[in-house]
Structure 1
Amino acid sequence: MDRLASFGNDPFDKPPCRGCSSYLVEPYIKCAECGPSPFLLCLQCFTRGYEYKKHQSDHKYEIMTSDFPVLESGWTAQEEMALLEAVMDCGFGNWQDVAYQMRSKTKEECEGHYMKNYINNPLFSSTLLSLRHMDDHLSRTADTAIPFKPTDDPPRPSFDSQLSRDMAGYMPARADFMEEFDNYAEWDLKDIDFVDDDSDILHALKVAVVDIYHSRLKERQRRKKIIRDHGLINLRKFLILERRYPKEVQDLYDVMRRFARVVGPIEHDKFIESHTLEFELRREIHRLQEYRSEGIQSFCGAKVYERVKRTREDERRKRNMLCDVLQYIHDTRACQQWLHKQAAIDAGIAPVVSTISTSGRRSAPPLNLTGLPGTEKLNEREKELCQVVRLVPGAYLEYKQALLNECRRQGGLRLAQARSLIKIDVNKTRKIYDFLIKEGYINKA
């Protein structure tokens, strides 16, 4: 407490607040990193996260206070601690020895204050009154301060708001989190007390516990630094920026995210951008190779080729649609559903996916994929398959990856092998297998 009270109790003896230029009233804040001249802030500017030149809101700080009432006026916090220590040393009732150890209070004052605030008044009603007087004094002091600019005020989302959840409890005004990583690391340290009569083994054990606590604090700071440097505080904004990449690059982004802690944010972004450029170049090279294999030698001919190719694909799709409807020609209800679906597609309206059933049972409604994890990683055809088969996107991606790995390992895949890998309904397995074959993800053995 003596170390904190480096300035006198008179506010005119201290430099004014660097934020609002008002006189400092204890308790106030001193930056522990800015120097050599002290950088002092009042509580109002400190809670707003005031920054000036080299001073940042996440700097280490000290609470400068030594003379303020806690339970009643006339008794400072330092005197309260001295009274409790004297009662612990001398024993309850030895008020003469307590007063002799206190030196600043008489025997009657020590006894009356202790009995009033620690024995006969467990609710500390006087504490609330003292705090109310202190708040009134601080508010009167703040009335003469320079008003804070709204543009410099960082956002302060409430604890249960959506913005606070998206920011993982981050408080911009303090540049800190509401709940830290390894939030209960201090619990292992709260009961440790170094005394002179400790044995060497016990002393070494306590030092080891303190060293472990320091390592946990370093890990906490390391994780916070990674989150700040890579801009991961607002996760929703981060995901929106990630979706601007093609699907192949997004998959690479998911795999390489774990290595972001090894390199800096700029190097990591350059790495992803270089792979995006590589993907675009490979796709362009593949397109030019296709033109050359078809005998096209000019870009004018390439435009004609692309137009004819789209027309040919439309004709092939129409033939496939005719083959699809022929199997439902004897089921009037299923045929009508299919025709409504195709009419919606031709009109540019997203069709309502429905399961066409040839049996007398009522078909199950399509699965709603809204909000399910992994939906953003699927294309439109894969989403339609998951809706019809009633399969969540996460499970579909796992089944797809398992089939792709097995097909790559054996050079092909049969339906029986797919059913042995995927332990679900055989009809769903067949639909997934046929879909992957049709889309070209896997090939038959």
Structure 2
Amino acid sequence: MDRLAPYGSDPFDKPPCRGCSSYLMEPYIKCAECGPPAFLLCLQCFTRGFEYKKHQSNHSYEIMTSDFPVLDPSWTAREEMALLEAVMDCGFGNWQDVANQMRTKTKDDCEKHYMKHFINNPLFASTLLSLKQAEEEKHVNTAVSFQPTDDPPRPTFDSLLSRDMAGYMPARADFIEEFDNYAEWDLRDIDFVEDDSDVLHALKISVVDIYHSRLKERQRRKRIIREHGLINFRKFQILEKRYPKDVQELYDTMRRFARVSGPLEHDKFIESHALEFELRREIRRLQEYRRAGIKSFCSAKVYDKLKKTREEARMKRTMLSEVLQYIHDGNACQQWLKRQAAIDAGIHQITPLVSSSGRRSAPPLDLTGLPGTEKLNDKERELCQVVRLVPGAYLEYKAALMNECRKQGSLRLAQARSLIKIDVNKTRKIYDFLIREGFIVKPLP
């Protein structure tokens, strides 16, 4: 039985043939017993009796074509759809452009047919009204899900936020510059004339097909941006920061693969990984309790409290170890105590420790203009100034120690000294600093 094809006249809009994977051209065959999804075959595969899994060659079938009249005996369904598409592209009233796009009908034919069957047809108008009312009732009765792009920000032109949004214009729901912005240049000199040879005509058609594929790629990229909420990038970053640091790194890595999956599937993947991260952290905590011989949660609370006390005592011992080299000089000891009091009060002032014996410690390193300084926090800048270590080297040492600690589960001072070949005193200060800040952990005693 003849049916109107559910897809456009463009073969790229239809799924390929299940037999030979070629693009389907009307007419083609749809199995009436298999599906969903629809089982489609080209005429060549249908005539040779192609069978695949549950599909058998004796199944009933439908011939999918749009080469039959619908509203007017002289107009096929394919031409009806081409007319509606041309009016949508060229605008109502531009009948000459509509006729040029259709190629099979004249300007007067397009105007008379459209006005008769789509404007002055009361049956068609009432059908459109009923469809509009049904759509409105559907929206009223159904909760509308939140879309990140419903109300994007409206920054001023050439502002920082406007550059972050890649020139997106919310009032027009479009970009200032399109992807592949000069794709139309290849068509500006093409003109179809009657005296073209077959080869030249086929070449022009190929150029137009290439242009259509570039337009589809442009629309695909816009669809990905809108579906994943990438227009309002600030809101996207705020939602990302709710995850732990390890999950944020995965989020940033997997963002480039979001085009493969839909937004819901992508969010499910990230949420499942965040849940896995929480479960693994909880498993490590329970394994630590088991190694310590703890069998109840009441004992675990006592263990956590004592562990925190031990960590604080270990930190105090580390801080006091810095005083030992100045303990023979009372003046230098007093300076060190004043500096620690200023640090505890939130005042980060670096002053060199001067002993009364005449020994003067090296002045702090000036980090102004050194590469990598902007990546350090206040405590890391203070460490680099006191230890006289350039920020770039410190970041490399920090990354090496953190990677080794992640592999081993913990890190000893001897292992740190074997990894970074610098002065042992500087290595000790870097190691103790990373322990205090929680970047690395020591083995359990």
Q: Give the TM-score, by structure 1 length.
A: 0.51
CA contact (8 A) 1:181 1:220 kept: yes
**d(CA) in 2 for partners of 1:197, 1:227:** 44
Query: For 1:17-96, what aligned pairs fall within 5 Å after superposition?
Result: 62-64=90-92
- Identity among equivalent pairs (%): 58
Question: Displacement of 1:436 after TM fit?
Answer: 9.9
Question: Displacement of 1:331 after TM fit?
Answer: 9.3
With over 3 angstroms needed to count, the CA separation of the structure-2 counterparts of 1:360 and 1:369, relative to structure 1, is closer
**d(CA) in 1 for partners of 2:428, 2:191:** 67
Question: Displacement of 1:324 after TM fit?
Answer: 2.6
Higher relative contact order (CA 8 A, sep 6+): 1
The equivalent of 2:212 in structure 1 is 214
**d(CA) in 1 for partners of 2:403, 2:348:** 30
Query: For 1:159-174, what aligned pairs fall within 5 Å after superposition?
Result: 159-174=157-172
SS in 2 for 1:280: helix
The equivalent of 1:400 in structure 2 is 399
The equivalent of 2:298 in structure 1 is 300
State which of 268, 271, 277 in structure 1 corresponds to 2:269.
Answer: 271
Residue type at the aligned position of 2:231: I
Residue type at the aligned position of 1:391: P
Is structure 2 residue 348 aligned with structure 1 residue 352? yes
Residue type at the aligned position of 1:235: F
The equivalent of 2:312 in structure 1 is 314
Question: Displacement of 1:391 after TM fit?
Answer: 3.0
Show structure 1 runs of 5+ residues with no match: 1-34, 39-58, 68-76, 79-151, 420-424
The equivalent of 1:391 in structure 2 is 391
SS in 1 for 2:308: helix
Deviations 1:275-317 (A, max 9, x none): 1111111111111111122122222211111111111100100
**d(CA) in 2 for partners of 1:284, 1:257:** 27
Q: Give the TM-score, by structure 2 length.
A: 0.51
Is structure 2 residue 284 aligned with structure 1 residue 286? yes
**d(CA) in 2 for partners of 1:304, 1:407:** 27
With over 3 angstroms needed to count, the CA separation of the structure-2 counterparts of 1:431 and 1:322, relative to structure 1, is closer
CA contact (8 A) 2:169 2:175 kept: yes
Deviations 1:312-332 (A, max 9, x none): 100100111111343466899
Residue type at the aligned position of 2:278: E
SS in 1 for 2:322: helix
**d(CA) in 2 for partners of 1:195, 1:238:** 51
**d(CA) in 2 for partners of 1:203, 1:398:** 66
Residue type at the aligned position of 1:363: L
Deviations 1:183-235 (A, max 9, x none): 22222332333334445554444333323222221111111111111111111
**d(CA) in 2 for partners of 1:208, 1:333:** 87
With over 3 angstroms needed to count, the CA separation of the structure-2 counterparts of 1:224 and 1:161, relative to structure 1, is same
The equivalent of 1:363 in structure 2 is 365
Residue type at the aligned position of 1:364: D
Residue type at the aligned position of 2:295: Q
CA contact (8 A) 2:373 2:381 kept: no
State which of 181, 184, 191 in structure 1 corresponds to 2:182.
Answer: 184
Residue type at the aligned position of 2:399: K
CA contact (8 A) 1:158 1:164 kept: yes
Q: How many residues align?
A: 294
**d(CA) in 1 for partners of 2:174, 2:373:** 30
With over 3 angstroms needed to count, the CA separation of the structure-2 counterparts of 1:219 and 1:202, relative to structure 1, is same
Bigger mean CA deviation after superposition, 316-325 or 163-172: 163-172
CA contact (8 A) 2:155 2:162 kept: yes
CA contact (8 A) 1:231 1:238 kept: yes
The equivalent of 1:234 in structure 2 is 232
Question: Displacement of 1:363 after TM fit?
Answer: 2.7
Cα RMSD over matched residues? Answer: 5.1
CA contact (8 A) 1:386 1:392 kept: no
Bigger mean CA deviation after superposition, 163-172 or 314-323: 163-172
CA contact (8 A) 2:365 2:385 kept: no
